[in-house]
Structure 1
Amino acid sequence: MPHGDDGDTKVEQLLAALRGQGIEVDNSPRRLSEYSYDASNYRVRPAAVVFPATVDDLRKVVRECSASGVPITPRGGGTSMAGNAIGQSLVIDLSRGLTTVGEVDGGNASVWVDAGVILGELRSYVEKATGDELTFAPDPSSMTRATIGGSIGNDACGNHSVAYGRMTQHVQELELVTADGAHLHAGRDFLRAADAGEQHSVARASELLAGLKELAQANLAPLRVELGNIPRQVSGYHLGHLLPENGLDIAGALAGSEGTCALVVRAKVGLVPKPRTTALLCLGYANTIDSARDVMTILAAKPSAIEGLDASIVDIMRHRRGAASVDSLPQGKAFVMVEFPGDTMEQAASDCGQLLAKLRADGRVVDHTLVTEPRERAKLWRVREDGAGLSSRRIDGVQTWPGWEDSAVAPERLADYLSELLPLVEKYGYTAFMYGHFGAGCVHMRLDYDLRSDPGREAFENFTREAAALVVAHDGSLSGEHGDGRARSELLDVMYSPSMLDIFRAFKNLWDPAGVLNPGIIVDPEPFAASLALDGAPQPGPAHGEPAAMPGADVVPSSAGRSLLPVVSPFVGNTHACIGVGRCRATAGGFMCPSYRATKDEKDSTRGRARVLQELTRTKGTSHDGWSSPEVREALDLCLSCKACSADCPTGVDIAEAKSQLVDEHYRGKIRPFTHYSIGWLPRWLPLLTRIAPLANVGTSFGPFRWVGEKLGVSARRRLPAFARSGRIERRVREAQFADNADVLLFIDSFTRAFRPEVVPAAARVLRDSGVSVGCTPDACCGLTWISTGQRDGARRRLAKLISRLDDGSDRDIVVLEPSCAVAIRDEGPKMVGGAAAARVAARVRSFSVAVDEAIKRGWKPSAVPPNTAVLQTHCHEHAVFGSGAQKRVLEAWGVPNLVESSSCCGVAGNFGFEAEHFDTSMKVAEHSIVPALDSGAGLVLTDGFSCAMQVSQIDPERSSKHLAIALDPHSARWTEN
């Protein structure tokens, strides 16, 4: 990268040239913050980020960079754990523009796919196109956000690599752009121009082909001896594919080159038959080494997956997701998950049984479970697949990091390697969280390094060098899947001879003689202890006015006895917990992140926002007045405060809390936006508005008033709810017939009282029907709208008052009708108020659906007649804190045969959807899930959340949605289809 004034001038000239050609380029501070990180330990601020829309755009970018000497770092999903997707360069994001999948060639079991296509989306596309006959095999745990180009770049594998191998085995042909802009196609024994009439590309293809043949022929012995010795030898270049016996497979040689030789723009990939069904055998062992010693016996049975994990991962899963998330695992301190495919479940289960009999004879298995039910299998696979994110933080709050997370040995040497690696970990005082592809000898491990202090970084460097020597002593590879990147490239001289390193350098020079592609990776490497993200980062601490520590947290020493780390919520909403795994960029599964799904822009992902906030603490030291920073406001502008990230992010990043804290700090003592007083103080106005409901309802529908509201920030396009008359509210509360000294208490929130009072008696009747007496809590406000608008002192006062009223000395359940209010009491009360009373009250709180689910588990069944079809929209806050399974279980137990789930945020999320500036985004979010669900034509639409109900009425004014209490009310009429 050019440095100094001259370098800055070159970059500015380059960006001007690209913009002049209509190419999207962004060098704003916010964008640079987002792309300074991937999922590794490293931070490198780029010169700019470019988003090519076409291959022609990409060629223009590369030619301009080559001419100016500005280096290039290609990037897909940005999920690299080795630091190979960041650089002091022009970062080219291929995930936004190059996203086309071609027609599936069923006869040849292949498909052409652009580099920016997500692996999981490709798999879904192929399976749908072939009627589940074919699928795309590579399935790394990041497959919901990793791209084809990035996965080829680091030669990704996945859980099923024992059956399907690495990405290399599935790449048949590559479409490339070279460092000088040539447009080529590469495959087995050919390298040709994409356009036979374009002379530069024709000449470059001929030159490269001759050079690659010469390189291979001149180095037959070292290529045969040093490369391809174990299943997961990913470190270095895969030049064994150039050998004559391998057919001069140029596409195979470029797989794993980490963007250092050419840019992949499209790939022809092979497809495999999709198994009809699978059975999962989970084996429990006394320790990890015992589990590794059974790997060869398991491999001989030819399963499709052999995945290992230790008890520490399971303990974290149990702690964060509840005991039910791991209740299908057998007893043990280490586990191996073995999957068998089959045409029938009986066949797959039989294969599991035969293997189990052999393993029992060896005597190391202490327990097992055989799982055939699809939902249970998926639940157990999630334990393994979330390993990287879950293990990023110990139960006591100390963070862990990659760095030695990807070593591999031959499977037969795995146990011996681990028997020396684990004592090395103990020697340095680290705690290891281990999982991996045991059938391929690949070990993934996160360690609680201290990367903030000089002694901690020195220990990290010394440990890594010793670990590298150890894996090489076992004839293993530094990398088995993630690539070398910044984490391991400097250590390649431990693994390979000087002559092999020279061959690597010659290979790189053939493709990229000017060295502009991803410099510092593999060849001429950067020091692996340089550019560490935590070097210079401040220690985390509590925000203004928050309790000094989370309930039950203490100041604890790290495992190595280094510095004392406060186990508190790090700066604004735990944003320092983000490690870049990118689950928030997934376009399906879970609720996170609705704004990213609407825009497909990194700035609107949880990760992008967290990175901007992390940069804020680096530049300003604290969060003080961070909301005034344009990059922070841009990053958080489209955050819906849905809280889904707090549950769906494996590390628990809570951007809603971050936004609330930043807004609170910024506006402290200042005049706020109108919506903070209108929507933010709405519970304060509701008693008055319900007393003048007829007049208020006329006002909210009066055009001039709506126009004025639009100017003040409340969208004129948003349908507004009708206020219930105070007399009607009182009648509905009396109708509930609350009892004194009841078994459970119903909490009537401000929104239910003012807009849906009919829910109150319905809920009381349902709960009584379940066999409990029902009382009512004292009136109180949870402060939810004050929290979402960043008025935390006001929220804290209301929560404290509520807690004092609800802490009545009993342990009776408090059933809250509005899910977001239930979450405010359950989650925000202990965090914002703290103390034993807040914890006691929080433990008693149930959302209505959770209360009904618990009643059903006690043996009760709703007496109302169920509908034939239903649409379910779970409130985001309920999903985040209580989970999204309760309502579904209730509806299934009730007997609804056809249930359509809306699997993401509806788009309103409290005040967000009512704000004029956010209305369009709100409706765009709705298109992802709730609109298709409503289009299914199902009769009953369930929306316990008031904001969700408002979105349904916005999408289809002729269609009403119901609270679960109304649906289950034994006084309800029989449901009919609309």
Structure 2
Amino acid sequence: MTALEPTTTTDAAAALAADLQRVVGGEVRFDPAHRAMWSADASNYRKVPIGVVRPRDAADVEAALAVCREHQVPVLPRGAGTSIAGQAVNTAVVLDFTRHMNRILEIDPEARTARVEPGVICDQLRDAAAPHGLTFGPDPSTHNRCTIGGMIGNNACGSHSVAWGKTVDNTVRLEALTYRGERIDTRDAMPAALLALHERIGPRIAETFPDLTRRVSGYNLDQLPHDLAKAMVGSEGTLAVTTAATMRLVESPPARALAVLGFESAYVAADNVMVVREHAPLTIEGMDSGLIAALRAQDPVSTSWRALPPGGGWLYVETGGADKAEARAKAQAIAAAMKPYGLTEAIVEDDAARMKALWRIREDGAGILTRSPDGGEAWPGWEDAAVPPERFGSYLREFDRVLERHGRKGVYYGHFGDGCLHVRIDFDLLTEPGVANFRAFMEDAADAVVAHGGSLSGEHGDGRARSELLPRMYPPDVIAAFEEFKGIFDPDDRMNPGCIVRSARLDEDLRIFMGMPALGTPALGFTHDRGEFGRALRRCLGVGKCVTSHGGVMCPSYRATGDEQHSTRGRARLLFEMANGEVVTGGFQDDDVADALDLCLSCKGCKTDCPVGVDMAAYKTEFLAQRYRNKLRPASHYSMGALPRWMRLVGKLPASAVTGLNALARVKPLAALAKRVGGIAPEREIPAIAPETFTTTARARALETAVRPAPRGRLLLWPDTFTDHFDPSIAEDAVAVLESLGYGVELPPRTVCCGLTWTSTGQVGAARRVLRRSLRTIAPWVEQGVPVVGLEPSCTAALRTDAEELLPDEPLVAALDVRTFAELLAEHTDELRERVSGGARALVQLHCHQYADLGSEADRAVMAALGIEAEVLDSGCCGLAGNFGFEKGHYEVSMAAAERVLLPAVRTADPDVAVIADGFSCRTQLRQAGTREPVHLARMAAQALGLRAELRPDG
């Protein structure tokens, strides 16, 4: 039995797990769900681990290694699992350091060092160093989730390597344990075996290692005999397990500026990086126009790309200074110096928010490019080769010829100043001829980069993707030295075997080629994935933006629980493995998958925040539709999933009867019974229903039939269930504002519904019927091009985006012109400014579906025109999320999401600060949390324009 073929029978794995549980204080997980979630990283590869161990401390690591040694099974130390070369997957016991061993042990500002545990996140270290005017130099695009241990394993770099180098250049000391349990402290004397190795091979290393800053391929034998810590960096977990590391910190400029330089093409940008380097900037990053095309295709709501200067290729050049003026002057000097070198136009920014928006385009590149502009799939593999920067333009042209020769297409971005190119390529990894083409391309690409004096890897390491190609870069005696180097640390070949030496084949264990069986006809259209649910499940590449602690909306349940299974990535992995059927065997009836999806809020945050547009809300809908096909459903699906139907019945009651229902809902025994029957969380209050709906009072005025003179044209107001039955005064305010602007506001002749509540509970057939009936009702307006105005963001988003998934072939869906209230008002900002006197202050909670599908630029413009000084909270989901927060078992997670940012911000706001929350869920969460009464933008607009009448209270 070899190290690559460990004992993984059910009995052997159970015995191993039992022995680990006896001695390890941290979690030991050998269940199918955890093995499935850790079976892939951000690469093309898949290897199902034996199990997952989360050590609490170095003693746990030592104990786990002892047990694995006894059972003769391999070990894989792993950080955030964002590796792109495949070194973070193996048939081994995975030691996951993200949960516990994540403390910063010491910061020494005098020595400019920090001693940390391996699970410390890069940004966590940077934030801790910032008060001392210091930072950690390497900053990969995954800096808000990648771990220091993982960065050491991969020798990670990032955009600031021009100034501060790779991880190897910032590593001072490592403390580690070998597979055999030997302790390593790199402050100690160099082992004799390493000195002897250097004595023999040192001259050959000096002759054969390429002279460039971005050589990451192979072991760092050039660091012998002087620095053992640096020699171990980039070893991809193949030598030992790091238990603590002392890292170098660098002085962080107090102020920064960013010059974005536009060129005719990426070639021209690459040709001229040496000119930029002469100015000693902090970064020189590059992008190709294809990345912008992919961004626009993946996220049509985003307009960040418009901030770029004209061109077909760009350089991002960051400068630092003692203050903004100095940093900006340096950036302007670089822009001026580039005018003779093909510059088309440049912009210089020193505003932090605008710089962050520009950087997001570059940082999300790795994910964005997994879907090409035409919807095709693209993959890593040949991801980050590097050549001397003075030869970068030549290499780029040669690389394009290699692509063309193999019939492949790729889009570029990367660290142009260091000659490092990132690219995603449209490999066919589904068929045998496609995989053969993949191998042939990789071999030719390796030869091309070596011919240019480069390295197969310039950042992400060799892993399973490039280790096999190392003999094309290094001569046989150096490859033999690599094997000897590993053998000194790991003579049993049990530490992450198959990487760097004695490598796995680059075309083995390809996650996509291993494939998924047919999943049958999906319930949803999956229009952006060519109608295939399986294709949709291939979107997640594991870049892990969903496992971050703050910023954006994704992923509220992960942020509340910290569990991988409640992240977008974890759920996507489980669904993929469910479809594969090898590890997760229960199909749509699998309880592990159901449990993971149960805490998905269907907030759609991932649809926008995930660089590849994973839409877990849609996947959850599909799963529920298949799981409960022709079966009894949970009670909440019948109560809240069919809420519009129940509200339609309530709407037929007289006002006095509705008032009586509200009173009964406050009687605790009756309310408890109703909640138990309806599957509602006992901690929740049942929202009060308005005695009279908006449509009842409006139809009494014959609003739906009276076509009044309207200088600015007709509008059809969509009377959604939530506004109509719970907050009807919002609609009254909206009508007053729209009519004051000269619009003729009309209503459908009968009840309409977007079907959202049925969709979110997986009742796709009912949702489709409800939506089709509603579209038939408003067909006369749609066919005449009358805009449909929505007031509830979730319903408006459903009409704009979900409708095509429910009814992909319905002509009325394509003809719908759906607008938000703010989008209508944004066309009249000048008039609004003229009519408003005075101002107001407000906190703004964006509804998640608005964030994902509608955008908020119009809202911001309208609030400014109305004189509202608005702070749009970066609070993520409010936690209620439609039916989610009302369902039994979800209350704790729901409130944890709200308590992260939203509720504390509202509690501490000044009394005169309004809280704008257009979403019914957001308003309900705020009301039930006992904070101040939230308002809709329509009410703020009516007040600012002097149209706010004394209306009867809702409910």
Q: Which TM-score applies when normalising by structure 1?
A: 0.90
Instruction: Flag the 1:539–1:91 CA change in 2: closer, same or farther, 3 A.
Output: same
Q: Which residue matches 1:196?
A: none
Question: Does the Cα contact within 8 Å between 1:83 and 1:487 map onto a contact in 2?
Answer: yes
Q: Which residue matches 1:911?
A: 883
User: Aligned ranges for residues 231-250 of structure 1 at < 5 Å?
Assistant: 231-243=213-225, 248-250=226-228
Question: Does the Cα contact within 8 Å between 2:177 and 2:243 map onto a contact in 1?
Answer: yes
Q: Which residue matches 1:561?
A: none
Shift of 1:67: 2.1
Deviations 1:907-937 (A, max 9, x none): 1111110011111111122222212322332
Q: Which residue matches 1:967?
A: 940
Shift of 1:448: 0.3
User: Aligned ranges for residues 694-705 of structure 1 at < 5 Å?
Assistant: 694-705=659-670
Aligned counterparts of 2:830 and 2:592: Cα–Cα separation in 1: 49
Shift of 1:887: 3.4
Q: Which residue matches 1:721?
A: 687
Matched, 1:592 2:558: no
Aligned counterparts of 2:87 and 2:400: Cα–Cα separation in 1: 27
Question: Does the Cα contact within 8 Å between 1:227 and 1:239 map onto a contact in 2?
Answer: no
What is the identity percentage for the equivalent residue pairs of Structure 1 and Structure 2? 37
Long gaps (5+) in structure 2: 951-955
Question: Letter of the aligned partner of 2:166 in structure 1?
Answer: R
User: Aligned ranges for residues 456-855 of structure 1 at < 5 Å?
Assistant: 456-538=434-516, 543-547=521-525, 550=527, 568-571=530-533, 574-619=536-581, 626-690=587-651, 691=653, 692-712=657-677, 713-726=679-692, 730-731=696-697, 740=707, 742-778=713-749, 779-807=751-779, 808=781, 809-835=783-809, 837-842=811-816, 844-855=817-828
Q: What number of residue pairs does the alignment pair up?
A: 929
Shift of 1:717: 0.3
Aligned counterparts of 1:56 and 1:836: Cα–Cα separation in 2: 62
Instruction: Flag the 1:891–1:262 CA change in 2: closer, same or farther, 3 A.
Output: farther
Instruction: Flag the 1:734–1:215 CA change in 2: closer, same or farther, 3 A.
Output: farther
Shift of 1:858: 7.5
Q: Which TM-score applies when normalising by structure 2?
A: 0.93
Aligned counterparts of 1:64 and 1:4: Cα–Cα separation in 2: 14
Aligned counterparts of 2:350 and 2:518: Cα–Cα separation in 1: 44
Aligned counterparts of 2:433 and 2:11: Cα–Cα separation in 1: 39
Instruction: Flag the 1:5–1:161 CA change in 2: closer, same or farther, 3 A.
Output: closer
Question: Letter of the aligned partner of 2:176 in structure 1?
Answer: L
Q: Which residue matches 2:208?
A: 226
Shift of 1:485: 0.4
SS in 1 for 2:843: strand
Q: Which residue matches 2:19?
A: 17
Deviations 1:579-600 (A, max 9, x none): 1111111212210011111111
Aligned counterparts of 1:111 and 1:767: Cα–Cα separation in 2: 59
Aligned counterparts of 2:129 and 2:742: Cα–Cα separation in 1: 50
Shift of 1:826: 0.7
Aligned counterparts of 1:220 and 1:735: Cα–Cα separation in 2: 91
Instruction: Flag the 1:838–1:250 CA change in 2: closer, same or farther, 3 A.
Output: farther
Shift of 1:803: 1.9
Aligned counterparts of 2:740 and 2:128: Cα–Cα separation in 1: 46
Question: Letter of the aligned partner of 1:281 in structure 2?
Answer: A
Q: Which residue matches 1:397?
A: 375
Shift of 1:861: 6.2
Question: Letter of the aligned partner of 1:776 in structure 2?
Answer: L
Q: Which residue matches 2:194?
A: 212
Which one is further off, 393-402 or 476-485? 393-402
Question: Letter of the aligned partner of 1:760 in structure 2?
Answer: A
Q: Which residue matches 2:953?
A: none
Instruction: Flag the 1:897–1:513 CA change in 2: closer, same or farther, 3 A.
Output: same
Q: Which residue matches 1:158?
A: 158
SS in 1 for 2:286: strand
Instruction: Flag the 1:965–1:728 CA change in 2: closer, same or farther, 3 A.
Output: closer
Instruction: Flag the 1:857–1:531 CA change in 2: closer, same or farther, 3 A.
Output: farther
Q: Which residue matches 1:201?
A: none
Q: CA RMSD in A?
A: 2.6
Aligned counterparts of 1:858 and 1:140: Cα–Cα separation in 2: 46
Question: Does the Cα contact within 8 Å between 1:52 and 1:92 map onto a contact in 2?
Answer: yes
Instruction: Flag the 1:302–1:861 CA change in 2: closer, same or farther, 3 A.
Output: farther
SS in 2 for 1:969: helix
Aligned counterparts of 2:150 and 2:462: Cα–Cα separation in 1: 13
Matched, 1:901 2:873: yes
Question: Letter of the aligned partner of 1:261 in structure 2?
Answer: L
Aligned counterparts of 2:949 and 2:242: Cα–Cα separation in 1: 59
Q: Which residue matches 2:262?
A: 284
Instruction: Flag the 1:25–1:170 CA change in 2: closer, same or farther, 3 A.
Output: same
Question: Letter of the aligned partner of 1:310 in structure 2?
Answer: D
Which one is further off, 17-26 or 660-669? 17-26
Question: Letter of the aligned partner of 2:14 in structure 1?
Answer: E
Which one is further off, 471-480 or 171-180? 171-180
Question: Does the Cα contact within 8 Å between 1:646 and 1:880 map onto a contact in 2?
Answer: yes
SS in 2 for 1:927: helix
Aligned counterparts of 2:822 and 2:792: Cα–Cα separation in 1: 10
Aligned counterparts of 2:823 and 2:233: Cα–Cα separation in 1: 49
Q: Which residue matches 2:859?
A: 887
Q: Which residue matches 1:878?
A: 850
SS in 2 for 1:407: coil
Instruction: Flag the 1:732–1:113 CA change in 2: closer, same or farther, 3 A.
Output: farther
SS in 1 for 2:717: strand
Which one is further off, 99-108 or 905-914? 99-108
Question: Does the Cα contact within 8 Å between 1:540 and 1:571 map onto a contact in 2?
Answer: no
Deviations 1:240-279 (A, max 9, x none): 2224xxxx22221111111111112222222222223322
Q: Which residue matches 1:440?
A: 418
Which one is further off, 346-355 or 535-544? 535-544
Deviations 1:663-698 (A, max 9, x none): 112222222111111111111111333423223213
Deviations 1:606-632 (A, max 9, x none): 1111111111222289x9984311222
Aligned counterparts of 1:526 and 1:377: Cα–Cα separation in 2: 42
SS in 2 for 1:176: strand
Question: Letter of the aligned partner of 1:640 in structure 2?
Answer: L
Question: Letter of the aligned partner of 2:196 in structure 1?
Answer: E
Shift of 1:125: 3.2
Aligned counterparts of 1:815 and 1:125: Cα–Cα separation in 2: 47
SS in 2 for 1:330: coil
Question: Does the Cα contact within 8 Å between 2:378 and 2:426 map onto a contact in 1?
Answer: yes
Aligned counterparts of 1:320 and 1:806: Cα–Cα separation in 2: 30
Instruction: Flag the 1:139–1:767 CA change in 2: closer, same or farther, 3 A.
Output: farther
Q: Which residue matches 1:953?
A: 927
Shift of 1:783: 0.7
Q: Which residue matches 1:38?
A: 41
Question: Does the Cα contact within 8 Å between 1:875 and 1:944 map onto a contact in 2?
Answer: yes
Shift of 1:543: 4.1
Instruction: Flag the 1:572–1:427 CA change in 2: closer, same or farther, 3 A.
Output: closer
Aligned counterparts of 1:404 and 1:851: Cα–Cα separation in 2: 47
Question: Does the Cα contact within 8 Å between 2:523 and 2:622 map onto a contact in 1?
Answer: no
Aligned counterparts of 1:308 and 1:4: Cα–Cα separation in 2: 43
Q: Which residue matches 2:67?
A: 64
Instruction: Flag the 1:4–1:528 CA change in 2: closer, same or farther, 3 A.
Output: closer
Aligned counterparts of 1:436 and 1:728: Cα–Cα separation in 2: 55
Aligned counterparts of 1:6 and 1:604: Cα–Cα separation in 2: 27
Aligned counterparts of 1:929 and 1:853: Cα–Cα separation in 2: 28
Aligned counterparts of 1:897 and 1:395: Cα–Cα separation in 2: 38
1:122 to 120, 125, 131: 125
